[in-house]
Structure 1
Amino acid sequence: MPRLPAPLTLPPDAPTDAEVRRARRRRRRSESATAWAFVTPSVLVILGLGIMPVVWSLLLSFQADDLVTPSRWVGLQNYHALTKDPNFRQAVHNTLLYTALYVPLSMVFGLLLALALNRRIRLVGLYRTLIFVPFVISATAQGVLFSFILDPEFGAANSVLHALHLPAQGFLTDPGQALYVLVAISLWSGTGFCVVIYLAALQDVPPSLIEAARLDGAGRRHLLWHVVLPTLTPVNVFLVVWQVIESLQVFDLVYVTTKGGPLGSTTVIVYFIWEMAFQNFTAGYGAAAAYVLAVALLVIAAGTRVLRRRGPARLEGATR
């Protein structure tokens, strides 16, 4: 039986360009609405807990406010008073001294330990873990622990000194020792972070550079100084910035151990800000001190960008 021909049907009308554009706009609006539905909670959290407090504290720094009675606009008087406050100058001095000691020592000790652990030795994984564990312990727990150990009367440290026939020390109760003891506690915990970063960087050093240097007769000292250290320049920049920011913001360790004492020898900037705002109820004055610290951190961040731009050129020159 012969097959019948298929019936002829007219093709549907093709959509016009205007309809295509409208469909695309509807799809984009739908995708945007879906995206904003997911992003909005995070944006509200950032605005509520990040941007709004920053703006509010900036306005607060130009006011006299005790957090109870209505505030009074005083302009730049809070900032002017900071320049004449001996307690603020002492806090700045203590913070800078703490930073000048903690940052280079933590990096040097971290690099030395990383070089020692970057070898195939027995139980190297255990050693790396033991060095990093103090870093994950909270500063509050560290403060409580060392407050017991360094207690001048009943602490284990003075018991060991007594057993060695050495004079007892005041440690955290001695104005001449307290800040240096805090630096030592911070080194005990913060060096592990530098060790981990340096270990990762050392394992990324190109083996071809090391082999080429050895073929040229370079010893261990020359290999370290002329090959390994130049390749660690970006890591050094990162660690300097990270450790400086951490040291400028130290607070919890000071609060738990010394509370700024004895005689203000451990009062750092952040503790000074907290003391002014929540102990002396001069919130505007504390906010002004906080913005002085914020400006210092911004200067450090700007300097970091300059170093990062110069870092690749230096690194390229070192690897040639």
Structure 2
Amino acid sequence: MAGVTFALARPLAAPRARRRLDLTGWAFAGPATLVVVGLSLFPAVWAFFISRAKWNGVAPGVPVGWGNYQRLVQDPDLLAAARHTLLLTVLFVPASIILGIVVAIALNQKIRLIGFYRTCIFVPYVASAAATGILATFVFNPQFGAADEVLRRLGVPAQQFLESPSQALFVIVLIALWGEVGFTTVVYLAALQDIPRELVEAATMDGAGRWRVFRHVTLPELRPVTVFAAVWQTITAVQLFDLIYTTTRGGPLNSTQTIVYYIYELAFQTQRLGYGAAAAYLLFVVTLLLTLGIIWYSRRRGSEVF
């Protein structure tokens, strides 16, 4: 009889124990979940409703439907900002990936002080981007900057750098690479160390040189990581704001005004919050499509990473 009672009690005790564990888990995760939802999901939904209104943040908003989105398509300033963002992305993403692979291969060697070198590469990434931008304004200053001083010693004419409409965006890309190449380096370094040594040894024993091993063994093994790095760096380039804010403020002559900085000007300088929210949602859609496009292309090439 006691055995029957114990057998009946076990199915009843199991759900209770499971509920107790679930409640304990939610007790720990619940507050953080509420904070994340409150600081991300709710503002995103609210911004969508703002994007369908004409609102300056003070007076009551006037509903305009999809009028803000229709105006965006014909906005010449937004189109110019989109061109600048596209150029920045095209220059930044491949360069950061190539530099990341090259530096990671160099740091994957067994040399003295390798830990120190790896730390030096990663420090610019963890440093504040705003601080990096402020420092860059001194380095590339046409009057007393270190960059022009080096050019003078090499016999090269001094350049305007961040004060030149034709050079400023390229300098921004260079500064961004300085700050972001540490990330791609660490990612590729971890991927290189995960490549099975047997594959490299087998290719070497078959007579493959270093270049063939790199091309036919290393690069295919790094393909999933490359997809991840491309997605991550694309989002980073499209959403770049802090460097531009601390260096050029979109100048000179709006030559470095990207979409994110243009949204900042719309929302917080001209107080066109509805129009700025519409531009932000348009940027979200473009970023999502770019990300999905990269993932779709990588899967067609046989790289499963997401």
1:266 maps to 2:256: yes
2:136 to 130, 136, 146: 146
Residue in 2 aligned with 1:42? 32
2:41 to 51, 62, 73: 51
Shift of 1:267: 0.6
Tell me the TM-score normalized by structure 2: 0.91
* Change beyond 3 A, Cα 1:16–1:89: same
Shift of 1:16: 10
Which has the larger displacement, 245-254 or 112-121?
Answer: 112-121
2:90 to 100, 106, 126: 100
Residue in 2 aligned with 1:166? 156
Tell whether the 8 Å contact from 1:175 to 1:265 is kept in structure 2 after alignment: yes
Which has the larger displacement, 189-198 or 54-63?
Answer: 189-198
1:232 alignment partner, SS class: helix
Residue in 2 aligned with 1:213? 203
Aligned-residue Cα RMSD (Å) equals: 2.4
Tell whether the 8 Å contact from 1:237 to 1:307 is kept in structure 2 after alignment: no
Aligned residues: 304
1:293 maps to 2:277: no
2:255 alignment partner, SS class: coil
| Structure 1 segment 1-320 matched on structure 2, within 5 A | 14=5, 30-306=20-296, 309=299, 313=302
Q: Distance in 2 between matches of 1:70 and 1:248?
A: 32
Q: Distance in 2 between matches of 1:132 and 1:25?
A: 48
Letter of the 2:155 partner, please give it. Answer: H
1:203 alignment partner, SS class: helix
Shift of 1:158: 1.9
The superposition leaves residues 88-115 of structure 1 with CA deviations (integer Å, 9 ceiling, x where unpaired) of 0011111110010000011111111122
Letter of the 1:185 partner, please give it. Answer: I
Q: Distance in 1 between matches of 2:101 and 2:291?
A: 23
The superposition leaves residues 126-161 of structure 1 with CA deviations (integer Å, 9 ceiling, x where unpaired) of 222212211111110101101111111122222232
Which has the larger displacement, 205-214 or 81-90?
Answer: 205-214
Tell me the TM-score normalized by structure 1: 0.87
Tell whether the 8 Å contact from 2:100 to 2:182 is kept in structure 1 after alignment: yes
Letter of the 2:66 partner, please give it. Answer: L
Letter of the 1:295 partner, please give it. Answer: V
Q: Distance in 1 between matches of 2:284 and 2:303?
A: 30
Tell whether the 8 Å contact from 1:152 to 1:168 is kept in structure 2 after alignment: yes
Shift of 1:310: 5.1
Unpaired runs of at least 5, structure 1 = 1-9, 316-320
Which has the larger displacement, 270-279 or 291-300?
Answer: 291-300
Q: Distance in 2 between matches of 1:12 and 1:201?
A: 56
1:187 alignment partner, SS class: helix
Q: Distance in 1 between matches of 2:180 and 2:107?
A: 17
Unpaired runs of at least 5, structure 2 = none
